[in-house]
Structure 1
Amino acid sequence: MPADSPTTAPGLDAARQTLERVWGHADFRGLQARVVTEIMAGRDVLAVLPTGGGKSVCYQIPAILRPGLGLVVSPLIALMTDQVEALKQQGVAAARLDSGLSLDERSSVLRAAGSGDLDLLYVSPEGLASGALLDRLRDLPLSLIAIDEAHCVSQWGHDFRPDYRTLGRLSEFFPGVPRIAVTATADARTRDDILASLHLEHASVFVDSFARPNLQLSAVRKESASRARTDAHVIELVRARRGQSGVVYCGSRDGCERVADALTSAGTNAIAYHAGMPGPERDRRLARFLAEEGAVMVATIAFGMGVDKADVRFVIHADPPGSLEAYWQEIGRAGRDGEPAEGITLYGPSDIAWTLRRLETRPMAEEVKAVQTRKARQLFAMLDGAICRPQAVRRYFGETDAGPCGVCDVCADPPALYDATVPAQKALAAVQRLGGRFGRGRIVDHLLGKTKDVQPWEQALSTWGIGKDIAAAGWRDIVDHLLFEGLLLEDPNDGKPLVGLGDAEAVRAVYKGERSIEVRRTPPGFEASSRSGSPRARTRNDRNAAVEALDADVRARFETLRAWRRDRAAEQHVPPYVIFQDKTLLEIAQREPGSLDALAAISGVGQSKIDRYGKGVLEALTTGV
C-alpha cells in the first residue's frame, strides 16, 4: 500500500482537476485515485480494474500531467483508433502508429511526437518489435509506458499473444520510466505471470472488485446440438430486444455469417464480423456498429477487445467461450455506461467437447493445456451450476467475500437440485461396460433397456435396463452434467461423438461415494426462451422501456439531442458515443440547462466538450433541432 493517502497524495489535486476539466467528472472512482497516485510518483503499477471501471484514465491523466510523451501499447488497431478518437474529442493531443497509416501519416505522427506536440502515442506490440521505431522512441522523453490488455502477456490467460512476451525488455530500453499494466480479467496465476514477464516485480498491484451490478446474467442449456434450433433461439432473443444495440458471439465464421443473415432477414440491423474478412472490411463493419444505433454485431472472438461502445444493452453467447476470463471479458462489453444490461449464454455438451478439441490442437505445453482444460470445465460448471453467476465468477477471481447478486437467473429463480450420485454411478458404469463405443442417445437407451435391435452381449451386461426409474430426459440431463464435470468425455469421431470415461480418479471417487453429484431438476413445462430473457419476464434492463416511462417533454428533448449527436458524429466520421454518451444526454434532457455553466455541471461534460458542442446543445434544447 502506498505511503501517501490516496486523497492527499502529491499530484492528485492536479489529476482531479484534469479529470473534471477534460472528462467532466468530479472525482475518481474505485481504485483509480490510488493507481494515479503511484504513476504520478513515477512508480510501476499492475491494475486489474473491471470493464467500464476507467482503466484508461489511470494512465491517460498522468500522461497529460507528467513531462514527456505517454507511450501506450495496445493489441488492436480498432482499440487504438477508438481511444485516440475519444481523446481528440476531449481536447487531448493523441495519435496512433499502426499498419493502417500511410508513410506520410506515420512521419507526421513521429514529427509531432518529436516536437513535444503529443500527450499520448498508441502503438502495437508488433510495431515495437521494429528496431527503427524503438530507436526513434529512445530519443524521446517518455512520461510513462502503459501496457493495455496486459492479460495478453500470459500463457495462463485467455488471450495469449506471443508478441506481448517481448514487452518485458521495455524496462531495459527505458530505465526509470514508470510502467503501468492494465487489464479487466486476470486471476492470481495470470497476475503473477504478468509481473514476471513484464519485469514488474516491484510494482504496486491493485485488484478492484469484479462486480458488475448493472449486468443481469443468465444461462440456458441448449435443447439439442442442432444449429438450426440454436440459431432460432438467438433470433428470438434478439427480436425481443428490438432497437437495442447488442453483440452475439458465435464459435465459427460460418456461424457468424449464418446468424447475421437470419437476423437481417428478421428485420434486425445485424453485422457479421470475423477474422476471415479482409482488414478494411472488418474496419468498415466495426465503424458501422459503433456509429449506428440499435446495431447488433454477430462476431467471433476476433471482435470486441477494448471496443468502448457504451450503450451495448446485451451480449448473447450462441456458443460459450473457453474460460471464465473470456466469459467475463466478453459479457463485460454490455452496459459499459453503467446502465442495466444483459448477458445470456446458451451452452450444451457439444460445446464443451468442441472447446476441449480446440485446446488439443493448439500448440502449447502440456502443463498449460491442463490449466486451460481446467478453466474450460470451471466455466461450464458455473453455467450448469446452481450458484449465483456473478458470485461464482467473483470468487473465481479471488473475491472470497462475494455474495449473491440477487438479479441473475439463479438468484431470481433458484433451480431445484437433487442428489444424483446413485444414477451417476449407474451412468458411469454403463459407459465403462459399453467401452466408449457409443454416443449419448445410445447410452440412455441402454440404461432404459430400450436399445433397438439389441445384441445378446449388451443385454447380458449388468447395466442393461438399470435406469428404468428415470425418464429419458432425466438421463440426458445426468449424462450432460457428467460431461460438464469431466467425469465423461466425448470423442468427436467425425461428427458422431462417442462417450467414454473421463478423469479416472474422479470417476473412482463417485463410485466409492466420496464425491456426490447434484443435478438440476428440469421443471414441468420448461421453456428455455422464457428462462433466458423473455421480455415478458425481464423488463428491468430494457432502456427503451425506461425512456418510454419518462415525461413526454423529457423524452422529446432526449430524442432531439440524440438526433443532434448523430448529425455531429456523421460530420466527423466518429461514433456518436465519443461525443456524448446516452447517459449524459438523458441527464441534459432531464435538467434542461439554460447556460454553458449549467451544462458544464453535468457529469461527462468536460471543458473541451463545452467549447466544441456547448452552444449546439443549448440551441438544440431551445429550438428542438
Structure 2
Amino acid sequence: MSTPQSILHEVFGYGQFRGPQQAIIEHVTGGGDALVLMPTGGGKSLCYQIPAIVRHDAGHGVAIVVSPLIALMHDQVGALHEAGVDAAFLNSTLDWQAALDVERRLARAEVTLLYAAPERLTTPRFLELLDGLHAQERLSLFAIDEAHCVSQWGHDFRPEYRALTVLHERYAGVPRIALTATADALTRADIVERLQLQQARQFVSSFDRPNIRYRLVEKKDPTQQLLRFIESEHEGDAGVVYCQSRKRVEEIAQTLAGHGINALPYHAGLDAAVRQAHQDRFLREEGIVMVATIAFGMGIDKPDVRFVAHLDMPKNIEGYYQETGRAGRDGQPADAWMAYGLADVVNQRRMIDESPAGEEFKQVMRGKLDALLALAEATDCRRVRLLGYFGEESRPCGNCDNCLHPPAVWDATDAARKLLSTIYRVQQMSGISFGAGHVMDILRGKASDKVKQFGHEAISTFGLGAEYSEAQLRGVLRQLIATGAVAVDAAAYNTLKLTDLSRAVLRGEEPVRIRESVAAPAQHRAKRERSPARAARESAAAALDTEAQARFAALKAWRAEVAREHNLPAYVIFHDATLAAIAALAPQSPEDLQGVSGIGAKKLEAYGAEVLRVCEGA
C-alpha cells in the first residue's frame, strides 16, 4: 500500500518533508479535518495532493480541490500529469465534449484529483455527481485552497466561497482541508465558522519568509524611484509591480517598456484573451515584469519572481503579505519594495469611509489599514512588525531596510501641535475644513492664491512652521492620520478635521516621533546596497564550475523546448534547483539521477534519457 513517504519520494522526487507537512499529511490521510496556514512557497499543495493519492490508492476514490483560478488549475493539473498523477479540471476552458468526458471519468472515480471553482462545485449538476460518488463511498477528501476567500475580513473575499458549507452538511464524514497563506486571528476564526471547521485540527506555520527583504520608501517621484530600483538591482529579473488603478498600470507598463524593461500590463479592463496571453508569457518566459492591479497574482506558482513592488499602498497587511509572498517562492533572496505617501493614506481612508458596508466592518478595515500604516512608518525591524501582526514573536531580522540602515528619528511633537492648531483655526475662521496642501501652506507661510483668497495670512499660526519642509510636514500628517489624531473627510474633498485624539497631542501629552524623510536616497547608500537577488545568482554560478555551467545552460534550453511542447511553465518540468543539481552531478546513467531532488519515478522515466543526452552534449 502507498504511504505518504513513498509518494513523496517516488511521485514528487523529494527525500523528506518540510516543516509541518508530514503531520498535516498523516492527519488528513487518516481522515481528519484540517485548517492549514502556511506561507507562500511553503509546500501547501503537497498537503492535500499526497493524501489524495494515498487515499485513492486505498480505494477511497476522488479528491475534489476547490480552486479560485483557471490558470492555477491548469498549471497544477499539468504538474500532476508530469509527475504521473491522474488529475483533471472542470472549468470554462473545456468544450462541451471535453467537459462531459471529465464528468464521466469523475463519476467512475477514475481520476485521483479533480479541480473545480467554487461556483461550479455548488451547481446542481456537479452536486449530483458528488452525491453519486458519496453514495459509493468514493469521495476521498475536499481541499479548499485560498480559504481566506470565505471571510469578509480576508483581503480577497469571494461570496461564492460561503456556499461551501454544503460540503460539511451534505457529505459528512468526508475529510476536509482548508488552506491559506494569509489569515490573521479574526480571519482565521471566520474561516472556521463559515466552513464549519470547529472540530478541525489547526496547523499554523511560521509566517516568516526570511529570504524576502522588506523595503518601504517615501514617495517622491515614484515612477523614477521604481525605475532606479529595477535598473540598479533587478535588471533582467522577473517581477510584479502592483498599482491601484488600471490607468496607472498602463502608464507604468509603457514607461518601463520604454526603458528597455520587458514589462506587460494586467488588469480586469483588458480583453480576457490579452490578459491570458500576458499571464502565460509571465509564467513561461524569463525576465518578464508584470504591472498589475490586485486582479493578478492569486495562485501564481512562478518560483523565480525576484521582486514585488507596490507603487500604491494595499488595503491591509494581509494583502501586502500575500502579494509580497509571490516573490522568492524558490527560497532564493528576493525584494519586497513599496513606495507610499500621504495620498495613499487619504485614498485608502476615503475608500473605507465611502464604502456601503456597515460601521462595524468599516472599523475593522480602519484598524487593518492603521496596522499597515504603522508598518510603513516603523523605525524598528519590519519583519518583527509584520510577524507580530499575525501573532508571531520574532527578533530583528538584520535583512530589512530598517535593520540594514536604521533611520534617523526626529521629535515631531512641535510640528504636530502646530499642524493641529492650524487645522482648528482655519475651520474656526472660515467655518469649513481644508485639505492637507492648504494647511501646510499656511503653516509654512506660503501666501498662495487660495491662502490670500480666504485671508488665511491672518491666522496666528501663519508661517510658524517655516523651518519644516513640505516632506517633513507630510510625514507628520501621515502619522497623525495613522494614529487617528486627524480625520480625513472623504465626503468633503478629503479635508482634514480634528478628532477626540487630537487633544492629547495638542496638550503635549502625546509625543510624536517619526522617521526622517528618506524619499531621495543618498548616492552612497545606493552604492552600498547589493541586490540580494543578484548576489544569489552570483553565488549559484560560483558553485558550478565552467563545465557544469555549460550543462546548466543546455538543460535550461532543453527544458524551455519541452515546456513549450507541453504548454506548461518551465518550472513545472523541472525547477532551476533540480537542473543545477543535475549539472553539478554530471550524470552518466539513469541510476545517477535517482535521488536528485525533484525527479520522481515518472519524470525519470519520461526525461531521464534526454537529460543524459543533453548533459553529454554540453
Q: Which residue of 2 aligns with 1:611?
A: 605
Per the alignment, in what secondary structure is the counterpart of residue 611 of structure 2? helix
Superposed, 1:40-51 pairs within 5 Å as 40-51=29-40
Distance 1:15 1:548 in 2: 34
Give the direction of change, closer, same or farther, for the CA distance of 1:463–1:165 in structure 2 (3 Å limit): same
Per-residue CA shift, 1:306-327, capped at 9, x if unaligned?
1100111111111121110000
Alignment equivalent of 1:570, drawn from 560, 564, 568: 564
Aligned residue number for residue 577 of structure 2: 583
Cα 1:128–1:265 change in 2 (3 A) is same
CA contact (8 A) 2:350 2:494 kept: no
Work out which of the residue numbers 408, 421, 424 in structure 2 matches 1:432.
424
2:214 alignment counterpart: 217
Question: Which digits, 9 at most, give the CA deviation of each residue in 1:513-564, with x for residues without a partner?
Answer: 44332111236x9427987xx5761232214434554532222221111111
Work out whether residues 256 and 272 of structure 1, in 8 Å CA contact, stay in contact via their aligned partners in 2.
yes
For 2:127, the aligned partner's letter is L
TM-score (norm 1): 0.92
SS at match of 1:613: helix
1:208 is the counterpart of 2:197 = no
Measure how far apart 1:234 and its partner are. 2.0
3-state SS of the aligned residue for 1:615? Answer: helix
CA distance in 1, matches of 2:67, 2:523: 39
Distance 1:493 1:178, change over 3 A: closer
Judge conservation of contact 2:142–2:175 (CA < 8 Å) in 1.
yes
- Larger deviation: 263-272 or 41-50? 263-272
Q: In the alignment, which of 462, 468, 471 is matched to residue 470 of structure 1?
A: 468
Q: Secondary structure at the match of 2:556?
A: helix
Q: Which amino acid in the other structure matches residue 512 of structure 2?
A: I
Whole-Å separation in 1 of the counterparts to 2:527 and 2:81: 39
Tell me if the contact between 1:268 and 1:296 (Cα under 8 Å) persists in the aligned partners: yes
Deviation readout 1:112-159 (Å, 9 max, x if unpaired): 112222110011111022111111111112100010000000001111
Q: Distance in 2 between matches of 1:368 and 1:529?
A: 44
Point out where structure 1 has 5 or more consecutive residues left out of the alignment: 1-10, 224-228
Letter in 2 for 1:46: L
Instruction: Quickly say closer, same or farther: Cα 1:278–1:563, change in 2 above 3 A.
Output: same
Instruction: Identify the range of structure 1 (415-424 vs 199-208) with the bigger mean alpha-carbon deviation.
Output: 415-424
CA distance 1:442–1:528, shift in 2 (3 Å): farther
Letter in 2 for 1:560: A
Deviations along 1:83-111, one digit per CA (max 9) or x if unpaired, are 11111111111111112211111111111
In the alignment, does 2:229 pair up with 1:237? yes
Q: Determine if contact 1:353/1:489 at 8 Å carries over to the other structure.
A: no
1:146-186: per-residue Cα shift (whole Å, max 9, x none)? 10000000001111110011111211111100001000000
Give the % identical residues: 44
CA distance in 2, matches of 1:584, 1:320: 36
- The question of whether the paired residues in 2 share the 8 Å contact of 1:220 and 1:528 is answered with no
Q: Is the 8 A contact 1:432 1:500 kept in 2?
A: no
1:519-530 aligned at under 5 Å gives the runs 519-522=514-517, 526-527=520-521
> What CA distance in whole angstroms lies between the structure 2 residues aligned with 1:207 and 1:413?
32
Q: Identify unmatched segments of 5+ residues in structure 2.
A: none
Q: 2:259 aligns with which of 266, 269, 293?
A: 266
Q: CA deviation at 1:469?
A: 4.2
Q: Which residue of 2 aligns with 1:158?
A: 155
Distance 1:49 1:528 in 2: 38
Task: Please state if 1:356 is matched with 2:349.
Answer: yes
**Structure 1 equivalent of residue 75 of structure 2:** 82
Equivalents in 1 of 2:330, 2:267: separation in Å? 25
Secondary structure in structure 2 of the residue aligned to 1:605: coil
RMSD over aligned Cα atoms: 2.1
Deviates more, 1:365-374 or 1:471-480: 471-480
* Corresponding residue to 1:62 among 27, 31, 51: 51
Partner of 2:26: 37
3-state SS of 2:281 partner = helix
8 Å contact 1:125–1:163 — kept in the other structure? yes
Indicate how the Cα distance of structure 1 residues 412 and 151 shifts in structure 2: closer, same or farther if over 3 A, else same: same
- Match in the other structure for 2:596: 602
Q: Distance in 2 between matches of 1:82 and 1:246?
A: 19
CA distance in 2, matches of 1:457, 1:294: 56
8 Å Cα contact 1:153-1:161 kept in structure 2: yes
CA distance in 1, matches of 2:291, 2:514: 32
Q: 2:106 corresponds to which letter in structure 1?
A: A
Specify the alignment match of 2:132 in structure 1. 139
Is this contact kept in 2: 1:259–1:298, CA < 8 A? yes
Using the alignment, how far apart are the partners of 1:393 and 1:48 within structure 2?
16
Of 421, 438, 443, the residue aligned with 2:439 is 443
Deviations 1:358-384, CA, capped at 9 Å, x for gaps: 233444222112111211121122012
Sort the Cα spacing of 1:605 and 1:230 in 2 relative to 1 into closer, same or farther, 3 A: same
TM-score by length of 2: 0.93
Matched residues, number:
601
Match among 260, 269, 287 for residue 294 of structure 1: 287
- Structure 1 range deviating more: 459-468 or 197-206: 459-468
Q: Secondary structure at the match of 2:142?
A: strand
Q: How far 1:32 moved relative to its partner?
A: 1.1
Q: Distance in 1 between matches of 2:490 and 2:410?
A: 30
* C-alpha contact (below 8 Å) 2:350/2:488 kept by paired residues: no
- Superposition deviation, residue 601 in structure 1: 1.4
Q: Which amino acid aligns with 1:206?
A: F
- The aligned counterpart of 1:4 is none
Give runs of aligned pairs for residues 150-549 of structure 1, distance below 5 A: 150-223=147-220, 229-240=221-232, 241-399=234-392, 401-435=393-427, 437-452=433-448, 458-491=456-489, 498-501=494-497, 504-522=499-517, 526-527=520-521, 534=526, 537-542=529-534, 543-549=536-542
Does 572-581 or 604-613 show the bigger shift? 604-613
Q: Kindly provide the amino acid, as one letter, of the partner of residue 222 in structure 2.
A: T
Change (3 A) 1:127 1:266: same
